[in-house]
Amino acid sequence: DANPGRASIEAVLNPLQTTEIFFVADGSGGHAFASTIDEHNRNVAKWRQIERQQQEG
């Protein structure tokens, strides 16, 4: 069984008010959020650079 925790239920019932609609991994185990497609594309480019560095390393 996979049941949501209390924090997950609270988040669904009381969502944050935000303009951020895009997200991508940030390379540190978190995410980079963006409000515009241009900002999102910059975040994606950063993530892809991190991926390339990890493959080369």
Domain assignment present for residue 8? The answer is no
Domain assignment present for residue 9? The answer is no
23-42: per-residue pLDDT in tens?
Answer: 999 999 999 999 999 999 99
pTM score of the predicted model: 0.73
Domain assignment present for residue 3? The answer is no
Confidence of residue 1 (pLDDT cuts 50, 70, 90): confident
Length of the chain: 57
- What tokens does 2 get? 């996979």
Domain assignment present for residue 22? The answer is yes
In the DSSP assignment, the letter for residue 54 is H
What pLDDT is attached to residue 7?
96
**CATH number for position 36:** 3.30.160.60
What pLDDT is attached to residue 49?
96
3 state DSSP class of 28: coil
Domain assignment present for residue 39? The answer is yes
Domain assignment present for residue 2? The answer is no
What pLDDT is attached to residue 57?
80
Q: Write out the residue range of the structural domain in which residue 44 sits.
A: 18-56
Domain assignment present for residue 6? The answer is no
What pLDDT is attached to residue 13?
97
